[in-house]
Amino acid sequence: MTRADVLSQVAALRTKREPFVLATVVRAERPTSAKPGDCALVLADGTVDGFVGGACAESTVRLESLRLLAAGESGLLRITPRAGSETLEEGVRTVGNPCLSGGTLEIFLEAMIPPALVLVHGEAPVARALVRVGTALDWDVRTVTDPAAPIPVDTAAVVVASHGRDETPVLAAALKATVPYVALVASRRRAEGVRAELAALGVPQEDLDRVHAPAGLDIGARTAPEIALSVFAEIIGERPRVTGHACEASHEHHATAEPEVAIDPVCGMQVAITPTALSAQHTSETVYFCGSGCRRAFLDDPGRFRS
């Protein structure tokens, strides 16, 4: 797969709102097979499409990419042929890979987390302002007019600003879909009426309490853009706090778990346990390997690596 092929997939993955890592070789010492500019995509299931070096380098890139996806971070990965040289500096992780053919590789791993998805129901001035403000925040804000439109599973917020049209069914659907932030742009009197309508439909009290109505923080907003600003401020204030690393706005909706890790019994390298990882059955155990060379060595003489 060429660099052009890899980059052509980026737009498709973004359209489908799939998290991934773009791995790009930025420095390579001979005799490595990779060259600066070589790149690959690492998907959340561990699939690697592209080329950033041989199988052993790819195994390390897979593991570190999955770790960065779980953290919502990007960083520089340095792979050296010196065993036991694993270190972590700010923004740089150095991993010693004794199976490397030689030379040091430096690969930039850029985690691509889809922006927060906000559905705005309505076409009134406040609805249009919500789209403008959300777009300025680099969020994925979509106008919806069909009350029966499906709600994507990674939706961060549903805001109803339709001035009395289809408010109840949209709010009920958003609550049923467990959207984290559900809001209605309305006066307090109108908001209480809509809550009563939802209660009559059988919506439980705990869900009714999740509806932000009137929507937004009380900042004295009067104009449509000010109301939109107050709504996004409330969304930001309500989202879970993530400590220990910088987090994309919608990372909690796309978060992947820390990858499960196995140890290659031949070289001692850490290997991410994924459907595409090299493995072999030994007695009742599944053994994982960084590359085909280690797998062959193990299968030739398992007793050498298992007491």
Q: How many structural domains are present in the chain?
A: 2
144 vs 149: CA distance, rounded Å:
8
**What local confidence, expressed as pLDDT, does residue 69 receive?**
93
Same domain, 229 and 199: yes
Predicted local distance difference test score (pLDDT) of residue 47? 94
Residue 244 pLDDT greater than 70, yes or no: no
Specify whether 64 is located in the same domain as 134: no
pLDDT in the model for residue 205: 95
- Mean pLDDT over all residues of the chain? 89
| Per-residue confidence (pLDDT) for residue 254, from 0 to 100 | 59
Q: Measure the CA–CA gap between 217 and 87, rounded to whole angstroms.
A: 45
Identify whether residues 166 and 186 lie together within a single domain. Answer: yes
Asked if pLDDT for residue 252 goes beyond 60, the answer is: no
The pLDDT assigned to 307 comes to 61
- For residues 173 and 150, what is the distance between their CA atoms, to the nearest angstrom? 9
Q: Judge whether 111 and 24 are in contact, CB under 8 Å.
A: no
pLDDT surpasses 60 at 171: yes
Q: For residue 182, what pLDDT is reported?
A: 97
CB atoms within 10 A of CB 305: 15
In sequence order, the 6+-apart residues with CB closer than 8 A to the CB of 303 are: none
228 & 279 share domain: no
The CATH number for 121's domain is 3.40.50.720
Q: Which of 5-9, 112-116, 188-192 has the lowest mean pLDDT?
A: 5-9
- Same structural domain for residues 158 and 78? no
pLDDT score at 245: 39
User: What DSSP string runs through 271-304?
Assistant: EE--TTSEEEEETTEEEEESSHHHHHHHHH-HHH
Task: Say whether both 218 and 139 belong to one domain.
Answer: yes
d(CA 252, CA 51): 29
Looking at 244, 268, 285, which one is the last position of a domain?
244
Q: Which of 24-28, 82-86, 170-174, 230-234 has the lowest mean pLDDT?
A: 82-86
With respect to residue 154, please indicate whether it lies within any of the assigned structural domains. Answer: yes
Same domain, 174 and 127: yes
How far is it, in rounded angstroms, from Cα 44 to Cα 303? Answer: 34
Regarding whether 40 and 52 lie in a shared domain, the answer is yes
Residue 84's pLDDT band (cuts 50, 70, 90): low
Q: What element of type H or E holds 12?
A: helix 3-15
Q: Predicted confidence band at 99 (pLDDT cuts at 50, 70, 90)?
A: confident
Question: Would 211 be classed as within a structural domain?
Answer: yes
Instruction: Determine the pLDDT at residue 98.
Output: 83
Q: Is the pLDDT of residue 127 over 80?
A: yes
In terms of domains, do 135 and 36 share one?
no
CA dihedral of 27, 29, 32, 34, whole degrees rounded to 10 = 20
Q: Is the pLDDT of residue 248 over 50?
A: no
Looking at the predicted structure, is the pLDDT value of residue 106 above 50?
yes
Instruction: State the pLDDT at residue 241.
Output: 61
Domain span at 102:
3-114+257-300
- 4-28 residue pLDDT tens: 888 889 989 988 899 999 999 999 9
Residue-wise pLDDT tens digits, 146-164: 999 999 999 999 999 998 8
For residues 285 and 269, state if they share a domain.
Answer: yes
